[in-house]
Amino acid sequence: MPTTDKPVDSLTLEEAETELARLAGEIGEHDRRYYAEDAPTVSDAEYDALRQRNAAIEARFPELVREDSPSRKVGTAPSGTFGKVVHAVPMLSLDNVFSDEDVRDFVASVRRFLAFPADREIVFTAEPKIDGLSMSLRYENRRLVTAATRGDGTTGENVTANIRTIKEIPESLPADAPDVVEVRGEVYMRRDDFFALQKRLSETGQAIANPRNGAAGSLRQKDPEVTRTRSLRFFAYAWGEVSEPLGETQYDVVRRFGDWGFPVNDRMVRCRTVEEILEHYHAIEAERAEIPYDIDGVVYKVDRLDLQQRLGFRSRSPRWATAHKFAAEKAMTVLNGIDIQVGRTGALTPVARLEPVTVGGVVVTNATLHNEDYIKGIGNNGQPIRDGRDIRVGDTVIIQRAGDVIPQILDVVMEKRPADAVPYEFPRVCPACGSHAVREEGEAVRRCTGGLICPAQAVERLRHFVSRNAFDIEGLGEKQIEFFFQAGDEALRVQSPADIFTLKARQAGSLTKLENIDGFGDVSVRKLFAAIDDRRAIEFSRFLYALGIRHIGETNARRFARHFLSFASFRAAAESAVAPEGKGDPGNAAWQELNGINGIGSVVAEAAVDFFAEEHNRKVVDDLLKEVNVRDEEPVGDVSSPVAGKTVVFTGALEKMSRDEAKAMAERLGAKVAGSVSKKTDLVVAGPGAGSKLKQATDLGVEVIDEDGWFALVARDG
Ligand code: IVH
């Protein structure tokens, strides 16, 4: 038996020494490939197995531990990942706009929200949108204490050691800086530095696509000394938690960051009108090639911070800012084939397989074809698109890629169409289970009717269930889900969400051990079970989102969670809101409650009702609830405010704020905003012209106040 396969406890001293030398070399090489080149050649499981073996031999022969042992390397997190940081203030993203018209709409929406008349000035800042990675730098008592990536917006990765190697980022702040301040901005790589790095790495056979990936890879280095060699840079443009206000305007605060020693972008200007905004946009666009770093648009922000505060946030992005993206890049290539993917709701989505082509520095091999009609040259409204040209396999096509979105096929070059190209026949049966795929009247998508028997849907549902914004179970990727789904041994099979949580126990009682299966090592199995156990308690909104109910994405899940506070009361409402013939019963109180939630319409309410009307869905949920504990939602907003926890209805005309601002303000103060008056309503804010809702409130004896009464109650100046 070669030494490399021998059980640790049968190794002789000499063999152990040889083994440790081999392992140090091999693990070091894998580390280099993973961290320096971003191109691992072994699975995590294989890698873990090597480290595990190294540790086991060292435990048996402590005297043989080498100077260069993988177990001694400083800064080497065993899993190769960084610690997590929960952001004190979430890191949000920006909405995108693409045309001059969209910019006008954005400005108009800000005005509408604030109820500002057309002649009242609103100043915006306009600055380049840097194509890098956002970073939050936390200073306490004017010393840098933590640097964290954005991650999912709530939790990021702790990359402090690597950030400290960036010369442009100050280690300490001057005396006028507050005790706590989180300076946020973009870490990026200049194009010339990127090209140099690309050249250097290509000598080891490794390719990096663009400066953004270069910056990301460099920040993910395990060894800060490698990061130090990578010429990363930084621009400050935003902030998170602060112990005292930083200024009165966006512009002033960024200038102050500059005074503190942070690089700030000198292309930031203040604009007073849409025309000025657009002028600056086109100026930056024209200079784009000469700017030494990649930018992908221009960001506009409301300058006054008191107005930013009033505008507040939608679920993922501020209402006071938007990103005006540059036009997407295009390229020509050949369509080699069309594959059909089956999603978790059974939707059949055509995916274009392309002859690889580089668009804006990134190799593109797939593009979305949206749906059956899109391929035929028919748009969503039934009107022709591409002048009615259809898309055929073999066609030369124009593709477009904008930012991180999936590339699209824009058009077909008819002169290059092969003589034998035939119109594409969209399948009438599901490629995964063979069930009929039907297209409902008025719908663009064709759906597999296989439901529970369709493996593709089931696998997609599981993938959604464990995905980052749902249960977020690390170690359960696409490959693992497929494996568990099809596992021959029942002790390993995972076909419904609850099975994930019973896996460990089923394993323990069975002869087949996951550790012995190819692709899983001791360490990765242990980590997987730990990751699963970690999720036995979960937030209501994540849980609901994970169920994958149609129309209940993250935002709607949060709306339901904020309203009902406990999953049990949400479910009770959905189950008792009977929906005869698929329609909600308007006389039903639970149905009214679901529909009255701010932002929830009848389509979404109905999706919730439909879901719980199905016996098998209730079973999936019941099984799951035996394994996991869904935490109640904490009431959000200012719990000390006089309206916290109250249900408020706004009706009639409001004069000092828009309806949207009123709702947003009430929610920030911890109130629930409802669309209709019922016994559960605590307060009605009625403006001039209020009608039936006011009458209902009076009939039910609900407290009614006017707009001034509202401002007096929540103590804001009208
Ligand atoms: S402001 C609350 N300003 O774009 C909003 N973001 O698409 C804070 N970005 O996650 C962001 N340049 O990583 C802002 N001048 C700029 C930016 C910028 C690049 C990035 C940032 C953000 C993403 C949103």
Quick one: angle between helices 44-60 and 13-31, nearest 10? 150
Q: Higher pLDDT residue, 289 or 33? A: 289
What confidence tens digit (pLDDT) does each residue in 103-151 have?
999 999 999 999 999 899 999 999 999 999 999 999 999 999 999 999 8
What's the alpha-carbon Rg for the chain, to the nearest Å?
A: 29
> With 80 as the cut, is the pLDDT of residue 595 above it?
yes
Given 290, 325, 360, the domain boundary residue is: 325
Query: Which is the closest atom of ligand 1 to the Cα of 91?
Result: 2
Model-level pTM?
A: 0.66
Q: Let me know if residue 10 belongs to a domain.
A: no
What confidence tens digit (pLDDT) does each residue in 292-332 have?
999 999 999 999 999 999 999 887 789 999 999 988 778 89
The residue among 640, 570, 567 whose CA lies nearest residue 609 is 570
Vertex 296: Cα angle to 290 and 300 (nearest 5): 105
What's the CA-to-centroid distance between 555 and ligand 1, angstroms? 21
Alpha-carbon distance of 662 to 312, in angstroms, equals: 11
pLDDT for 499 equals 96
Please indicate, yes or no, whether residues 494 and 568 belong to a single structural domain of this protein. Answer: no
Q: What are the residues whose beta carbons fall under 8 Å from the beta carbon of 241, sequence distance 6 or more?
A: 88, 89, 138, 180, 181, 182
The domain of 511 spans: 473-534
Q: Higher pLDDT residue, 289 or 204? A: 289
CATH code assigned at 699: 3.40.50.10190
What's the CA-to-centroid distance between 94 and ligand 1, angstroms? 6
Which of 92, 93, 94, 152 should be mutated for ligand 1, with most atoms under 8 A from CB? 94
Q: Higher pLDDT residue, 63 or 150? A: 150
Indicate which residue's Cα is closest to atom 6 of ligand 1: 129
Query: Which is the closest atom of ligand 1 to the Cα of 323?
Result: 7
Indicate which residue's Cα is closest to atom 10 of ligand 1: 93
Query: Which is the closest atom of ligand 1 to the Cα of 318?
Result: 2
Given 585, 600, 631, the domain boundary residue is: 631
Q: Let me know if residue 559 belongs to a domain.
A: yes
> With 60 as the cut, is the pLDDT of residue 489 above it?
yes
Alpha-carbon distance of 473 to 461, in angstroms, equals: 14
pLDDT for 635 equals 76
Please indicate, yes or no, whether residues 162 and 241 belong to a single structural domain of this protein. Answer: yes
Distance between terminal CA atoms of the chain?
Answer: 84
Question: Confidence class of residue 79 from pLDDT cuts 50, 70 and 90?
Answer: very low
Please indicate, yes or no, whether residues 505 and 609 belong to a single structural domain of this protein. Answer: no
Q: Let me know if residue 411 belongs to a domain.
A: no
Indicate which residue's Cα is closest to atom 15 of ligand 1: 129
pLDDT for 5 equals 77
- Please give the DSSP secondary-structure letter assigned to residue 598: T
Q: Let me know if residue 416 belongs to a domain.
A: no
**Average pLDDT value over all residues in the chain:** 89
Alpha-carbon distance of 165 to 170, in angstroms, equals: 10
At 644 the three-state DSSP class reads coil
pLDDT for 43 equals 67
Catalytic residue ranges: 129
Given 325, 347, 364, the domain boundary residue is: 325
CA dihedral 137, 140, 142, 144 (to 10 degrees): -40
pLDDT for 118 equals 87
Alpha-carbon distance of 614 to 676, in angstroms, equals: 28
Q: Higher pLDDT residue, 591 or 351? A: 351
Which of 136, 186, 281 should be mutated for ligand 1, with most atoms under 8 A from CB? 186
Q: Which amino acid is at 52?
A: Q
Which of 92, 134, 184, 189 should be mutated for ligand 1, with most atoms under 8 A from CB? 134
pLDDT for 234 equals 98
Percent of the chain with pLDDT over 70: 94
The residue among 200, 232, 195 whose CA lies nearest residue 217 is 232
CA dihedral 174, 175, 177, 183 (to 10 degrees): 30
Q: Let me know if residue 29 belongs to a domain.
A: no
Please indicate, yes or no, whether residues 687 and 587 belong to a single structural domain of this protein. Answer: no
Alpha-carbon distance of 673 to 643, in angstroms, equals: 11
Q: Let me know if residue 544 belongs to a domain.
A: yes
CATH code assigned at 578: 1.10.150.20
What confidence tens digit (pLDDT) does each residue in 150-194 have?
988 888 999 999 999 999 999 999 999 999 999 999 999 999 999
Please indicate, yes or no, whether residues 92 and 176 belong to a single structural domain of this protein. Answer: yes
Please indicate, yes or no, whether residues 116 and 148 belong to a single structural domain of this protein. Answer: yes
Alpha-carbon distance of 303 to 272, in angstroms, equals: 10
Q: What are the residues whose beta carbons fall under 8 Å from the beta carbon of 339, sequence distance 6 or more?
A: 350, 351, 353
Percent of the chain with pLDDT over 90: 56
Q: Bridge-partner residues for 648, per DSSP? A: 673, 683
Please indicate, yes or no, whether residues 667 and 595 belong to a single structural domain of this protein. Answer: no
Please indicate, yes or no, whether residues 483 and 530 belong to a single structural domain of this protein. Answer: yes
Please indicate, yes or no, whether residues 90 and 235 belong to a single structural domain of this protein. Answer: yes
Query: Which is the closest atom of ligand 1 to the Cα of 150?
Result: 10
Indicate the helix (H) or strand (E) that contains 20. helix 13-31
Q: Bridge-partner residues for 353, per DSSP? A: 337, 366
Q: Kindly report the number of other CB atoms within 10 A of residue 154's CB atom.
A: 12
pLDDT for 283 equals 95
What's the CA-to-centroid distance between 108 and ligand 1, angstroms? 21
Helices marked H in 589-691 — which ranges?
589-596, 602-613, 615-627, 659-668
What confidence tens digit (pLDDT) does each residue in 648-678 have?
999 998 888 888 889 888 988 888 888 888 8
Question: Confidence class of residue 33 from pLDDT cuts 50, 70 and 90?
Answer: low
Q: Let me know if residue 44 belongs to a domain.
A: no
What's the CA-to-centroid distance between 158 and ligand 1, angstroms? 19
Q: Higher pLDDT residue, 282 or 595? A: 282
pLDDT for 12 equals 87
> With 80 as the cut, is the pLDDT of residue 617 above it?
yes
pLDDT for 501 equals 97
Vertex 318: Cα angle to 317 and 323 (nearest 5): 75
Please indicate, yes or no, whether residues 153 and 285 belong to a single structural domain of this protein. Answer: yes
Residues 74-97 have a mean pLDDT of 73
Quick one: angle between helices 497-508 and 615-627, nearest 10? 50
Indicate which residue's Cα is closest to atom 17 of ligand 1: 129
pLDDT for 75 equals 32
The residue among 617, 618, 342, 549 whose CA lies nearest residue 459 is 342
Query: Which is the closest atom of ligand 1 to the Cα of 317?
Result: 2
Alpha-carbon distance of 317 to 321, in angstroms, equals: 8
Tell me which residues have their CB closer than 6 angstroms to ligand 1.
92-94, 127, 129-130, 134, 150, 186, 237-238, 299, 318, 321, 323
Q: Let me know if residue 125 belongs to a domain.
A: yes
Indicate which residue's Cα is closest to atom 7 of ligand 1: 94
Query: Which is the closest atom of ligand 1 to the Cα of 131?
Result: 19
- φ and ψ at 617, to 5 degrees? -70, -40
pLDDT for 639 equals 73
What's the CA-to-centroid distance between 330 and ligand 1, angstroms? 24
At 660 the three-state DSSP class reads helix
> With 50 as the cut, is the pLDDT of residue 395 above it?
yes
Please indicate, yes or no, whether residues 527 and 582 belong to a single structural domain of this protein. Answer: no
What's the CA-to-centroid distance between 254 and ligand 1, angstroms? 14
> With 70 as the cut, is the pLDDT of residue 74 above it?
no
Please indicate, yes or no, whether residues 177 and 304 belong to a single structural domain of this protein. Answer: yes
Given the structure tokens 């003589």, which residue do they identify?
419
- Please give the DSSP secondary-structure letter assigned to residue 46: H
Overall number of domains in the chain: 4
Helix, strand, coil percent content, the chain, rounded in steps of 5? 40, 20, 40
pLDDT for 580 equals 55
Indicate the helix (H) or strand (E) that contains 146. strand 143-149
What's the CA-to-centroid distance between 96 and ligand 1, angstroms? 11
Residues 408-423 have a mean pLDDT of 94
Question: Confidence class of residue 284 from pLDDT cuts 50, 70 and 90?
Answer: very high
What confidence tens digit (pLDDT) does each residue in 535-588 have?
999 999 999 999 999 899 988 999 999 889 999 999 999 998 875 555 556 678
Question: Confidence class of residue 80 from pLDDT cuts 50, 70 and 90?
Answer: very low
The residue among 578, 571, 579 whose CA lies nearest residue 549 is 571
pLDDT for 407 equals 87
